[in-house]
Amino acid sequence: MLGTEDLERIPDPTPLFSCPDGYDWLSDYSAELAQATGYRLEEEPVAWCRDQTPPLSWIAVIEEPDQPANHALVARGAHVLHDPAQVYDVLPLDRVYRAFSLVPVAFPKRNRWGAVVA
C-alpha cells in the first residue's frame, strides 16, 4: 500500500499487540509509521471501506476465532488485493471487524464520520 521497495522502513506493530488490555496501540503505531514513512493509520467503518466506488485500498482485519491471532490483509473494495500470508483469495466479509486506511501525514485528521478534528 505504501508503494515502497524499502520494507525495513515500515515499523513492525507486533510488539505493541502484546501490551496490556486497553492499551491504545493504534495511536502509538500510527505515530511510528508517520515518522518512518509520512503516512498514518486511520480506523474507518468496515462498510465504508468495503463499499467504496471506485474502490480504495484498505487494511482489513479478519477475526480468526480458531487461531492464536487475527489476520490482516490489503483489500480493494470487497476484494482481496494482497494477503501476505496467502490465506485468503476472497474477503470473508462476515469476519472483517476492523478497517484501516493509510493517510498522508499532511492530510487533516478525521473522526469516524469524516469531520476534521484537531
Tell me the per-residue pLDDT of 30-45, one tens digit each, with 9 for 90 and over: 999 999 999 999 888 8
Q: Tell me: the pLDDT tens digits for 5-30?
A: 667 788 888 787 777 776 788 889 99
| Residue 4 CB partners (closer than 8 Å, separation 6+) | 10, 37
Residue 53 domain-assigned? yes
From CA 118, how far away is CA 116, in angstroms rounded?
7
Residue 99 domain-assigned? yes
Residue 52 domain-assigned? yes
Closest CA to 96 of 85, 80, 113: 80
Residue 109 domain-assigned? no
Q: Which residues pair with 43 in a beta bridge?
A: 100
- Structural domain of residue 58, as residue ranges? 7-104
pTM (2 d.p.): 0.81
Count of structural domains, the chain? 1
Cβ atoms 2, 37 nearer than 8 A: yes
pLDDT value for 53:
72
pLDDT value for 3:
62
- Average confidence (pLDDT) over 56-73: 90
pLDDT above 70 for 118? no
pLDDT above 70 for 112? no
Residue 77 domain-assigned? yes
Q: What's the per-residue H, E or C state across 19-88?
A: CCCCCCHHHHHHHHHHHHHCEEEEEECHHHHHCCCCCCEEEEEECCCCCCCCEEEEEECCEEEECCCCCC
Residue 16 domain-assigned? yes
